[in-house]
């Protein structure tokens, strides 16, 4: 039996919720075969996979801790075995724990370091080894690296590391025909964003944007789609997708 070959294959880390879920749906609509990664939300990932299959698309769910190189190597294996290879790796997985620097519980710093920094490094390393020529690697930062809101110090520190990893990897992959970029969303209406914020904080953040609204996950997925496919001359960049937030 000859294994079916797929035109374009993507693995979306953190694909079971928030921005990741919308990215998965967008890529599936565009004909990608998609590996939908989950850490703890297996039921949500399976639900999304079933929706894609019902729409005659191609998807599988893959689980694991993004900071665990063995589990992630197995996830990459699953996608490659199912679809013949990997062209695009998109890492939306991350955690955000907010606190003034003076009051931060250092355990929270360690948690963000593990998921946001080590996790990004593990995924970037595997992607650099596995993504096929003509492919793309897309990591996720935050616009707060530039807007510098109070209480975001530890989170921004972890995301600044994501940007540095991405920019250096883009240069290290010279000659491989693989682009590496980071997307830095502004305030976006996801469970991660709403967690720990009251209505006044949410209103103020929305009004800080010249377009006077929160971003929607689809706003981010459109840019992901561009970087994953046609944007072959965009490489080694941090793309701020934030409605004009300074």
Whether residue 6 lies in the annotated active site: no
Buried b vs exposed e over 218-229: b needs ≥16 C-beta within 10 Å?
Answer: ebbbebbbebbb
**Which residue out of 6, 32, 152, 155 is catalytically annotated?**
155
User: What whole-number distance in Å separates Cα of residue 221 and Cα of residue 231?
Assistant: 14
Q: How many CA atoms lie within 13 A of 155 on its CB side?
A: 23
DSSP code for 30: T
* 83 contacts 58 by C-beta, under 8 angstroms: yes
> How many angstroms separate the Cα of 152 from the Cα of each of 101, 142, 198, 206, 239?
8, 10, 16, 17, 19
* 78 contacts 11 by C-beta, under 8 angstroms: no
User: What whole-number distance in Å separates Cα of residue 2 and Cα of residue 45?
Assistant: 28
User: What whole-number distance in Å separates Cα of residue 57 and Cα of residue 33?
Assistant: 7
For the annotated catalytic residues, the residue numbers are: 155
């Amino acid at each position: 039996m000859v294994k079916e070959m797929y035109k374009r294959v993507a693995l979306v880390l953190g694909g079971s919720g928030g921005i990741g879920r919308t990215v998965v749906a967008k890529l599936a609509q565009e004909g990608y075969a998609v590996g939908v990664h989950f850490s703890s939300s297996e039921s949500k990932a399976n639900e999304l996979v079933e929706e894609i299959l019902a729409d005659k698309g191609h998807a599988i769910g893959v689980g694991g801790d993004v900071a665990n190189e063995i589990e992630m190597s197995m996830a990459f294996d699953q996608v490659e075995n199912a679809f013949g290879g990997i062209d695009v790796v998109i890492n939306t997985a991350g955690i955000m724990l907010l606190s003034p620097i003076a009051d931060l519980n250092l355990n929270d710093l360690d948690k963000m370091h593990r998921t946001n920094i080590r996790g990004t490094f593990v995924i970037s390393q595997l992607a650099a080894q596995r993504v096929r020529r003509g492919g793309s690697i897309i990591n996720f930062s935050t616009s707060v690296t530039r807007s510098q809101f109070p209480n975001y110090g530890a989170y921004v520190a972890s995301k600044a590391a994501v940007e540095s990893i991405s920019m250096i990897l883009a240069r290290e992959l010279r000659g491989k025909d693989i682009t590496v970029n980071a997307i830095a969303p502004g305030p976006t209406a996801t469970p991660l964003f709403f967690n720990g914020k009251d209505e006044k904080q949410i209103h103020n953040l929305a009004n800080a944007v010249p377009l006077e609204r929160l971003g929607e996950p689809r706003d981010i997925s459109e840019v992901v789609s561009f970087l994953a496919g046609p944007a072959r001359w965009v490489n080694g960049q941090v793309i701020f997708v934030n409605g004009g937030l300074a």
